[in-house]
């Protein structure tokens, strides 16, 4: 039977390893971003006048489709509303981050349908960079976007910065809606900010995308 001292020592060891892992992930993330920047192939975040990160029009036939990062304040939310709303068209927003990363109550207040499907890696949970997204969640996010588009609704989706999770979902929407090849879809995701050095999304792409 383990003594209290053995248990305490085990818990401290486990906590220490978690801290080491978190630090390692953060350091490697900065290293790769710095290296990509030096090589001239790093994506540079874009911002609207009110500060919305990485707002993109997703070009597709039919009702308008958009990608967006999280609006940082009410002024940015109002700008997003002006950018995407059209008279007589309902808006569906598919949210790929969790509540801690961004509060979606402004979207609900606009009367939009908000569908929350949080996917890893989550900014507030560093270790989720090692957690592969669940295929059921990814499929539901893609299908929700396609269904809303088929109904003629305006669809907007994204995560906190709309780079990694948003890039993955956008690539899969392109494959389903526009007939992109897997290579074409991956290039689009990289060109719009997905960081290929994230192991969870790499594994998902290689193993779960036909």
Cα separation, 20 vs 45, in Å, equals 29
Cα separation, 210 vs 207, in Å, equals 8
SS3 state of residue 45? coil
Cα separation, 133 vs 136, in Å, equals 9
- Treating both helix axes as pointing N-terminal to C-terminal, what angle do 135-150 and 164-178 enclose, rounded to 10 degrees? 60
Q: So what's the pLDDT on residue 196? A: 80
CATH 3.40.50.620 fits 56-208, yes or no: no
- Convert 138-157 to b/e letters by CB count within 10 Å (16 or more is b): beebbebbbebbeeebbbbb
Domain extents in the chain:
1-42, 56-208
Q: So what's the pLDDT on residue 20? A: 55
Q: How many CB atoms lie within 10 A of CB 9?
A: 12
Q: So what's the pLDDT on residue 207? A: 94
Q: So what's the pLDDT on residue 42? A: 73
Residue ranges of the chain with per-residue pLDDT less than 70 = 1-41
Cα separation, 67 vs 52, in Å, equals 11
pLDDT digit string (tens) for 106-141?
999 999 999 999 999 887 777 777 889 999 999 999
At 46, list the tokens: 């874009």
Q: How many CB atoms lie within 10 A of CB 118?
A: 19
Residue 121 near residue 164 (C-beta atoms within 8 A): yes
Give the single-character DSSP code of 95.
E
What is Dmax (Cα atoms) for the chain?
70
């Amino acid at each position: 039977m383990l003594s209290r001292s053995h248990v305490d020592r085990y818990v401290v060891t486990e906590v220490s390893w978690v801290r080491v892992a978190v630090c390692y992930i953060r350091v490697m993330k900065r290293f790769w971003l710095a290296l990509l920047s030096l090589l001239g192939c790093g994506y540079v975040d874009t911002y609207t006048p009110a500060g919305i990160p990485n707002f993109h029009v997703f070009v597709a036939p039919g009702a308008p489709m958009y990608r967006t990062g999280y609006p940082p304040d009410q002024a940015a939310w109002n700008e997003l509303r002006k950018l995407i709303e059209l008279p007589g068209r309902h808006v569906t927003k598919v949210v790929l981050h969790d509540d801690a990363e961004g509060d979606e109550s402004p979207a609900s207040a606009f009367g939009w349908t908000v569908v929350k499907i949080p996917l890893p890696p989550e900014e507030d949970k560093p270790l989720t960079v090692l957690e592969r997204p669940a295929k059921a969640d990814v499929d539901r996010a893609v299908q929700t976007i396609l269904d809303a588009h088929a109904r003629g609704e305006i669809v907007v989706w994204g995560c906190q910065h709309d780079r990694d999770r948003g890039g993955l979902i956008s690539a899969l929407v392109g494959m389903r809606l526009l007939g992109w090849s897997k290579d074409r879809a991956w290039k689009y995701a990289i060109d719009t900010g997905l960081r290929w050095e994230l192991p969870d999304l790499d594994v998902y792409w290689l193993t779960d995308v036909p």
